[in-house]
Structure 1
Amino acid sequence: MRPVEALIRILREEGVTRVFGNPGTTELPFLDALVDHPDIEYVLGVHEGSVVAMADGYARATGRPAFVSLHVAAGLANGLSGLLNASRSRTPLVVTAGQQDRRHLAQDPMLSGDLVGLARPAVKATFDVQHAQDLPVMVRRAFRLAVLPPAGPVFLSVPMDLLAEETEVTLFDAPVAPPPVATGVDAAAALLAGARHPAVVAGDGVGREGGVGSLVTIAEALGAAVYHQPMHDGLDFPMDHDLYAGVLPPVNAEIRAALAPYDVVLIAGCHAFMPHHYSPGPAIPPGTRVVQVDSDPTEIGRNFTVACGLTGALGPTLQRLAAALPDPSDAPEAQRRRCTLRQRHLEQRAAIDTAALKAYGRAPLDPLAAVHAVASGLPDDAVVLEEAITAGVLLRRVLRLARPRSLVHTLGGGLGFGIGAAVGTAMGDPTRPVVAVLGDGCSMFGLQGLWAAARHAVPVTFVVMNNGEYRTLKDTLDGWDSRATRAGHYPGLDLGGLDFTVAAAFFGVEARRITHVDELVQLVSDAAHRSGPLLIDVPLLGHQQGARP
């Protein structure tokens, strides 16, 4: 079996039916081989940033590693932002780039470069394939490493002449042993059951590893308030649940204040709280005891003291922990806490709904009214992809999503993720409507993804929150009482008037620019019935305008 045939055989055995790529000369041996394998679709993107984002969304929707083919050094460099996002979000990807022909690498030919050196800071592991017989071993190993906790992207540099060799190579099978259930569950259950004021922090590992249902059971048994981790990437607890208290802010001092009322906190599948803006001191209040559960052993006690740490497969471990706790009917104190929290959370949700509805009207829209309209119009079982920064913070306050995998975001900070990831999400699970809520600045970084949406007729509804500025940076400067704030002048933070319907038309995507909030509700509600992409341009009020409860 030739090297390229071995590669395709492994892809098929690993369940790969789509390759996300943007090709160049060094990938031609691979593309040529795909001609004889029509069961593997080559999903073309016109920029590597969009390609990696599509693969990221697809991997999350399918629950399997996605396969990415990038082009040599420059193409890999274009995809690095997406790889950083995938690393932060623990998305399993196997990524290859074709290296120049080894027979003249010493001459420093055009397109050659240090591919492994470029990729190393952005991925979990790298492989520099130099011998044909090593290719099957390294590709198989890459798929294993991509899913091993902590999951993430793995990169392989594959010389173009190696794939074209006539050398015979052999395959091997390496089944993955599932990680074990954690030990120490009974001690953790005893500590949690004895809490007078318990709380839960639901991290993104819960959603990734199928632990949402068990975490609900745990929270109900304890009568515990449940917070999403800061800037969470997915749905890790139902947002319409009585016990759901919202999202922790990405600042240690504010996390500490939010958790101060609780004596015991269960932190499940959460990567170190991910603070964004600096504040002195730890995130955990003094005297609060922490029970931490994670599939990644390096997370236990990483940034705070842990009274009880459990390392093991997150879904099964949470299931066993739920079974070890008292039945809610036998815990009257837990039931009283649940009733109190239910009333508090209903009042909070009613207050934000009231504020949003008061701001409804004609465009340009109040940001809170705009995100509330999107949330109100969402079809049943929709997946919301969010890359909207300031509008995204408001959106999470009005969303009432309940089903796992209903929210997609990235913690990586590499802008331009949203459009491509929405396309990949819809490809990965075509049974669910996808609504992408995007900032105008974020959209500018990833516009090339609209080409793929149109080319592949992916029925995604793209909602661009168009305020013509980098609002989050202005808000941050305002929080510092900066010179820019006092002068009312923010250098480099204004985008001006952007008409995204024109951009959509260029790529062949149908578009609408709304004039009233009711149009937005209706267009979003129609998302379940689309046969192709639609972009909705939503003009927003500018900086320091509109309701912000």
Structure 2
Amino acid sequence: MNPAAIMLDLLRDEGVDRVFGNPGTTELPLLRELAGTSDPSYVLALQEFSAVSAADGYARGTGRPAFVSVHAVPGVSNALIGLNNARRSRTPLVVTAGQQDQRFLRDEPMLGGDLVGLASSACLSAEEIHTPGDLLPLLRRAFARVRRQPSGPAFLSIPMNLLGGDGWSDELALPARIPVPDVGAATTIDEAAAVLASAERPAILAGDRVGATGAIAELTAVAEALGATVYPQPQYEYVDADSEHPLTAPSPFFTGTEIAKALAGHDVLLVAGAAIRPQTWTADRPMPDGMRVVQLDDDPGELGRSYPVEVAMAGAIGPSLAALASALTPGSQSRRETVERRAGRTAEALVAERTAWRERARAGLSGAGPIESASAAQAVADALAPGSVVVEEAPTSGPDLRRALVQRAAGDYHNSSGNGGLGWGAGAAVGLALAHPSRPVVGFLGDGSAMFGVQGLWTAARVGAPVTYVVVDNGGYRAVSDALPPGFAGTRLGGVDWAGLAESMGLRGTRVERGEEIGPAVAAAQRSGEPSLVVVPIAGGQA
């Protein structure tokens, strides 16, 4: 058996049923083996960033590490944005690249180069295979690494001559999987409960580790035991809290000033698997002075990384929150009444605010003139088929969509724009559609973001993924233009026929012109069961 064939055996044993990639000559031995099998199947992308993004979505949807194959120096370079996104999102990916033949690397051949050096900045680990005996053990090690927290991508560079069988021995056997032990609940539960129970105005920052691990119910139990206001973390990537729960507030905007403003009225904060990473510097630090902080994370390196922490809890998110809720629940009749009054006051204000925002957004659909972002987002949210999975990558319209959506289950929503590597959404929607074949998937993309990863539309059509893409088109980079004087160069796009572009790649393309057309167009696209794109022109930035 040649090394490429036994490599596929190892992938199957690790639960890999798809290889995401863009092929090149240095991967020919692997491609020959894949051509003769449908297990795993090969998901072709037109560009490596799209391949990594699709794999990212697939790993999120399946809960398993996804596998990506890219091509030499150009392929790794194109993949770097996606790899950086995956690292910041802790998405488990194993990525290999075909290196040039070892026998002439010293001549600096075309496509050859320091692949490990390129990948190192965006991956948890990066190694090159030097001997035939390295391939399988290092591949096993990569899978074991991404199954531990903090997760992310692990990279291997594989010289073409080794993958093709140079120096290979049939005596090399498939090594056993490397066990990864489960992590239990944190050991500082009682200390954390004591601090939280002393709060007069408690709050919880619900982070992406809550959503990624499916621990919403456990977090809700803690919130109810405290009567605490729950804020999903700024620019959250998963459903981290039940959006319809009376104690759930809107997610703070992602500047230090806005985060501090949201938290200013509280005295004790539980940071539950959350990262606070403002996009731009402000004089205001996100954590208000004097705030008592309890932090929980399954990556000990996050604890106290950016702000002082009174009690640190290192442990699995769900079990730790369940134990914390149990420790908080008992108490005196007086304490229970205090919690109930606190929760009642908080809920009344939050539910009223949520309802009023959505009513204003719906009312804006019938007005004349350009469609406002909030109204377009609400129209899309109201039109979604039951069980829809939403992939959002719209930096300026995304906050409106998050307020419009009913988000109750961890896998209902995905985002990666908080990592800054735009172009993720189109490919990620394909991966999530492959992971959830019985659920409708909607990709809500800004026009600027979508153009960075437009090749993902082609892959959606090629694999027949029934994704409905909604491109909210303001004709420019509004996140940039809003911060600049009028007429500043480099912020306007315009002239892109998104419906025509979609059709050229094999999707059904539709453009709406009025607010009342948005919902029917989205609903019709979802009912079609075909890859589709709906263009929604919205009010833009400065001209």
TM superposition score category, shorter chain reference: over 0.9
SS at match of 2:109: coil
Q: 1:328 to 1:436 in 2, by over 3 A?
A: farther
TM superposition shift of 1:344: 0.7
User: Which whole-Å deviations, capped at 9, do the CAs of 1:45-76 have from their partners, x for residues lacking one?
Assistant: 11111111100111001111100000111011
Q: Are 1:465 and 1:540, in contact at CA under 8 Å, matched by a contact in 2?
A: yes
Q: 1:538 to 1:395 in 2, by over 3 A?
A: same
SS at match of 2:387: coil
- Which residue pairs with 2:242 in the alignment? 238
Q: Are 1:144 and 1:176, in contact at CA under 8 Å, matched by a contact in 2?
A: yes
Report whether the alignment pairs 1:377 with 2:416: no
Report whether the alignment pairs 1:461 with 2:468: yes
- Write the distance in 2 (CA, Å) between the matches of 1:522 and 1:328: 52
- Which residue pairs with 1:299 in the alignment? 302
User: Which whole-Å deviations, capped at 9, do the CAs of 1:281-315 have from their partners, x for residues lacking one?
Assistant: 43222222111000001111111111110001112
For structure 1, the residue ranges without an aligned partner over 5 or more in a row are 478-483
- Which residue pairs with 1:448 in the alignment? 455
- Which residue pairs with 1:481 in the alignment? none
SS at match of 1:232: coil
Partner residue of 2:509 out of 508, 511, 515: 511
TM superposition shift of 1:116: 0.6
- Write the distance in 1 (CA, Å) between the matches of 2:6 and 2:313: 40
Q: Are 1:387 and 1:417, in contact at CA under 8 Å, matched by a contact in 2?
A: yes
- Which residue pairs with 1:420 in the alignment? 427
Report whether the alignment pairs 1:429 with 2:436: yes
TM superposition shift of 1:527: 5.4
- Write the distance in 1 (CA, Å) between the matches of 2:174 and 2:496: 53
- Write the distance in 2 (CA, Å) between the matches of 1:327 and 1:380: 38
- Write the distance in 1 (CA, Å) between the matches of 2:53 and 2:537: 26
- Write the distance in 1 (CA, Å) between the matches of 2:531 and 2:140: 36
Question: Which TM-score applies when normalising by structure 2?
Answer: 0.95
- Which residue pairs with 1:336 in the alignment? 341
Report whether the alignment pairs 1:402 with 2:416: no
TM superposition shift of 1:424: 0.6
SS at match of 2:126: strand
Greater mean deviation of Cα atoms: 148-157 or 29-38: 29-38
Q: Report the AA paired with residue 215 of structure 1.
A: L
- Write the distance in 2 (CA, Å) between the matches of 1:347 and 1:18: 46
SS at match of 1:245: coil
Question: Which TM-score applies when normalising by structure 1?
Answer: 0.94
- Which residue pairs with 1:15 in the alignment? 15
For structure 2, the residue ranges without an aligned partner over 5 or more in a row are none
- Which residue pairs with 2:164 in the alignment? 164
Report whether the alignment pairs 1:216 with 2:214: no
Map 1:22-421 onto structure 2 (within 5 A).
22-165=22-165, 166-168=168-170, 169-173=172-176, 174-271=178-275, 273-326=276-329, 331-361=336-366, 364-410=370-416, 411-421=418-428
TM superposition shift of 1:541: 2.0
- Which residue pairs with 1:438 in the alignment? 445
SS at match of 2:410: coil
SS at match of 1:76: helix
- Which residue pairs with 2:539 in the alignment? 541
TM superposition shift of 1:524: 2.5
TM superposition shift of 1:329: 10
Aligned length in residues:
535
Q: Are 1:435 and 1:527, in contact at CA under 8 Å, matched by a contact in 2?
A: no
TM superposition shift of 1:2: 3.7
Q: Report the AA paired with residue 317 of structure 1.
A: S
Q: Report the AA paired with residue 253 of structure 1.
A: T
Q: Are 2:230 and 2:249, in contact at CA under 8 Å, matched by a contact in 1?
A: yes
User: Which whole-Å deviations, capped at 9, do the CAs of 1:358-390 have from their partners, x for residues lacking one?
Assistant: 311367422221111011111222111111111
Q: 1:513 to 1:329 in 2, by over 3 A?
A: farther
- Write the distance in 2 (CA, Å) between the matches of 1:159 and 1:329: 67
What's the % identity of the aligned pairs? 45
Q: Are 1:363 and 1:517, in contact at CA under 8 Å, matched by a contact in 2?
A: no
TM superposition shift of 1:21: 0.5
Q: Report the AA paired with residue 91 of structure 2.
A: T
Partner residue of 2:493 out of 465, 476, 495: 495
Q: Report the AA paired with residue 522 of structure 1.
A: P
